Amino acid sequence: MKKIHKLMTLPILFVIVFSHNLLAQNLGKTEWFDPSRPATTYCNPINIGYNYTTHNHNRIPESRRSSADPVIITYKGEYYLFATNQAGFFWSKDMSDWNFVYGSFQREPGDDDQCAPAAWVVNDTLFYVGSTWKRDHPIWKTADPKSGRWTRHVDKAMLPTWDPAIFQDDDKKVYMYYGSSGKLPLVGVEVDYNTWLPKGNQADYAQLYKATEVEDIQRPYGQIKEVAVLEPSAHGWERFGPNNDMEPAPWGNFIEGAWMTKHNGKYYMQYGAPATEFKGYANGVHVGDNPLGPFTYQKHNPMSYKPGGFVIGAGHGNTFADNFGNYWNTGTCKISIKDRFERRIDMFPAGFDKDDVMYSITSYGDFPIVLPTNQRDQTKGASSGWMLLSYKKPVKVSSSEECMEVETHRMDNGGKKVYEKFCYGPDNLTDENIQTYWSAKTSNPGEWLQMDLGRQMEINALQINYADHKATQFNKAMDIYYQYKIFMSDDAVNWTLVVDKSKNDKDVPHDYVELTKAIKARYIKMENIHNASGLFAISDFRVFGNGLAAKPKAAASFKVDRNKADSRNAMISWKKQNDAIGYNIYYGISPDKLYNSIMVYGDSSYDFRGLDKGTKYYFTIEPFNENGIGIKNKIIEVK
């Protein structure tokens, strides 16, 4: 009887286990959304669990998420993302679904010593180091990063490196690059792999080790070589200010964020400028024949630039090759409301063209971008073709937080604190402005928003950008997650559940939801279930797909008037048209190299201050709406 009993119970146990696994796989699955299915696209800002800053970070009392200065590298076929002050790092198999690993290298969480970290694979070992002005900063290493356990490669790295970068050349020599200053250049030096001391005559560094002032610490000494310096008098985009419009800069034009990429025997020395809180924050590049130069300013610059759109800013990042050989450039985008260092991370298709010109494509860079599955030509980007359907669409909400005076953390000319009035109404949900947001009065389950697209449209993806309104979380915790449901309808009466994230346990502050198949609908409703911290607040609820109507006509009266007194500046204008919601202005150093772009919503002109003196440029413009992209204008030559 015992044998019979065992034989009878085995199938029952199998059915129970199988049913449990099947239930887990189908949890949250609908006809249009499957949480277990890998995405084929992603959308900026990158959707990672950005850390809430610590209480005393930068002396800002408000709780806010932030990160910046990203480095993404491949290690054993997977992607690892390191960034400023995250109490750890992230890894992914596909550059879409990022997983967090605690790996806190900080002794005091409020310290800034893990700002702008460097990471690189040297001799099959993953290395990591943060920023420091001191000379007792350790270099960490691991062969098993997912364990979160790192050991010290050296106890004291004798280089006071702020914004460091590590590079190993083909001959196995290792180099460090570093610097962040409004007065001094970026520098580089060959280091000894075993000791991480600068190579060369150690007597050359006696003066460096005696230095105590930051400026003296950053100066080139001995074998420490200058590798990049700004020239804002010739390069408009390197000028300080909200629109490259502050001359002279109050505390200098900042250069920072060193990164080295080798391609076709050439060394591409990359850097960020002019400051992280400005829309023109970009990555530039100088090119040389040796890892320590000399380097020459690339004619096509900045290399990565995104001054307009929902995501603004593309500076201080790195360039890496994916598992198929395609290049990507990462960067820092700004919010800069609760603090000027309130920032996020973005990533754009990049590469080297047939003439070995380094580029990054940011056009439609905050719309869905196709993830790589093979090697491909990225000179025109990797857009999915899904358009923004939600711009300026009317939204109803369950409740709205009242307007309030908010400290801006700036001082007026008299030294008094500056306050601004911020309102949190539903119009902020569709204005394509990452700096504004709607907030409900509570974080309770049942708070909702409802959007009317105006007519039935084809929907492929959504992006929910949460805001940290009245958040109380500081630093990392294990219970930070969001839960919600999204319904769609044609009459706002009969609703269909399309996205079910009621059981989600992951931190998704910029949650990007790619549908497994498109759905046609006019109305979209989101219901809150659980909010991570603070009130239920969203910056923009973005919807992507096809409006199923006519694309806009080509823009008329397109002109580029370059300033004769200062050729770094140009006024770009065109005739505003009713069938377009926005425009992309393209420019470059030749008709076949229009790699840079400027996205503009609503306006019919743009005050552009990012040109280089002595360089001839080519411009064109294209309108876009929810139905697609209009025809580009004839290319204009601007001398």
457-488 tens-digit pLDDT: 999 999 999 999 999 999 888 889 999 999 99
- Residues sharing a CB contact under 8 Å with residue 446, sequence separation 6 or more, in sequence order: 398, 527, 528
Three-state secondary structure string covering 146-169: HHCCCEEEEEEECCCCCCCEEEEC
Which one of 515, 546, 577 terminates a domain? 546
Report the sign of the C-alpha dihedral through residues 612, 613, 615, 619, in that order.
positive
pLDDT number for residue 114: 85
Same domain, 610 and 496: no
Same domain, 310 and 459: no
CATH number assigned to the domain comprising residue 606: 2.60.40.10
How many angstroms separate the CA atoms of 62 and 48, rounded?
21
Assign 5 a pLDDT band (cuts: 50, 70, 90). very low
Mean pLDDT of the chain: 90
pLDDT number for residue 18: 43
Residue from 258, 255, 281, 287 nearest 270 by CA = 258
Residue from 127, 129, 154, 156 nearest 142 by CA = 127
Least reliable range by pLDDT among 101-105, 469-473, 522-526? 101-105
The token pair that represents 245 in the structure block: 């419009």
Q: What is the 3-state composition of the chain as percent helix, strand, coil, each rounded to the nearest 5?
A: 10, 40, 50
**197: region left, alpha or beta (phi > 0 left; psi from -120 to 50 alpha):** beta
pLDDT number for residue 113: 72
Same domain, 99 and 180: yes
Q: Is the pLDDT of residue 134 over 80?
A: no
* Arithmetic mean of pLDDT, 376-392: 97
* Arithmetic mean of pLDDT, 81-102: 95
User: What does the pLDDT look like over 484-500, one tens digit per residue?
Assistant: 999 999 999 999 999 99
How many angstroms separate the CA atoms of 299 and 627, rounded?
36
* Arithmetic mean of pLDDT, 57-62: 70
CB distance 529 to 447 below 8 Å: no
User: What does the pLDDT look like over 419-438, one tens digit per residue?
Assistant: 788 899 999 999 999 999 99
How many angstroms separate the CA atoms of 339 and 66, rounded?
10
Q: Is the pLDDT of residue 207 over 70?
A: no
Same domain, 262 and 236: yes
pLDDT number for residue 43: 98
pLDDT number for residue 1: 36
pLDDT number for residue 171: 95
pLDDT number for residue 440: 98
CATH number assigned to the domain comprising residue 409: 2.60.120.260
pLDDT number for residue 210: 59
Same domain, 615 and 484: no
Q: Is the pLDDT of residue 415 over 50?
A: yes
How many angstroms separate the CA atoms of 443 and 450, rounded?
17
Q: Is the pLDDT of residue 393 over 90?
A: yes
In a domain, residue 305? The reply is: yes
Same domain, 469 and 519: yes
Residue from 439, 460, 451 nearest 526 by CA = 451
In a domain, residue 41? The reply is: no
Assign 50 a pLDDT band (cuts: 50, 70, 90). very high
Which one of 505, 528, 546 terminates a domain? 546
User: What does the pLDDT look like over 16-40, one tens digit per residue?
Assistant: 444 444 444 467 899 999 999 999 9
What is the amino acid identity at position 191?
A: V
pLDDT number for residue 123: 83
Assign 47 a pLDDT band (cuts: 50, 70, 90). very high
Tell me phi and psi for residue 379, to 5 degrees: -65, -20
pLDDT number for residue 340: 87
Same domain, 409 and 362: no
* Arithmetic mean of pLDDT, 373-381: 96
Q: Is the pLDDT of residue 84 over 80?
A: yes
In a domain, residue 409? The reply is: yes
DSSP 3-state assignment of 177? strand
CATH number assigned to the domain comprising residue 343: 2.115.10.20
In a domain, residue 21? The reply is: no
Q: Is the pLDDT of residue 92 over 50?
A: yes
In a domain, residue 17? The reply is: no
User: What does the pLDDT look like over 565-593, one tens digit per residue?
Assistant: 999 999 999 999 999 999 999 999 999 99
User: What percent of the chain stands above pLDDT 70?
Assistant: 89
* Arithmetic mean of pLDDT, 395-411: 83
pLDDT number for residue 206: 57
In a domain, residue 45? The reply is: no
Least reliable range by pLDDT among 216-220, 246-250, 447-451, 461-465? 216-220
pLDDT number for residue 213: 58
Angle among Cα 573, 574, 580 to the nearest 5 degrees reads: 130
User: What does the pLDDT look like over 351-364, one tens digit per residue?
Assistant: 999 999 999 999 99
Q: Is the pLDDT of residue 534 over 80?
A: yes
Same domain, 465 and 415: yes
User: What does the pLDDT look like over 297-342, one tens digit per residue?
Assistant: 999 999 999 999 999 999 999 999 999 999 999 999 999 988 889 9
pLDDT number for residue 408: 66
The token pair that represents 139 in the structure block: 């270099």
Same domain, 522 and 574: no
CB distance 597 to 590 below 8 Å: no
**Strand runs (DSSP E) across 298-444, as ranges?**
319-321, 327-334, 343-352, 358-360, 369-370, 387-388, 395-397, 404-411, 417-422, 438-439
Instruction: Tell me the DSSP string of 227-285.
Output: EE---TTTBGGGS-STTS--SS-TT---BEEEEEEEETTEEEEEEEES-TTSTT-EEEE
Which one of 363, 385, 407 terminates a domain? 385
Beta bridge partners of 575: 556
In a domain, residue 507? The reply is: yes
Same domain, 422 and 328: no
Same domain, 88 and 129: yes
DSSP 3-state assignment of 209? helix
**Over the range 122-145, which residues count as b (16 or more CB within 10 Å of their CB) and which as e?**
eeeebbbbbbbeeeebbbbbbeeb
Host domain of residue 201: 66-385
Q: pLDDT higher for 459 or 111? A: 459
* Arithmetic mean of pLDDT, 169-177: 94
Same domain, 530 and 561: no
Instruction: Tell me the DSSP string of 17-60.
Output: HHHHHHHHHHTT--SS--TTSPPSEE-SSP---PPBPPTTGGG-
Q: Is the pLDDT of residue 158 over 80?
A: no
DSSP 3-state assignment of 204? helix
CB distance 185 to 172 below 8 Å: no
CB distance 362 to 305 below 8 Å: yes
Assign 8 a pLDDT band (cuts: 50, 70, 90). very low
In a domain, residue 205? The reply is: yes
Structural domain total, the chain = 3
pLDDT number for residue 599: 98
pLDDT number for residue 625: 98
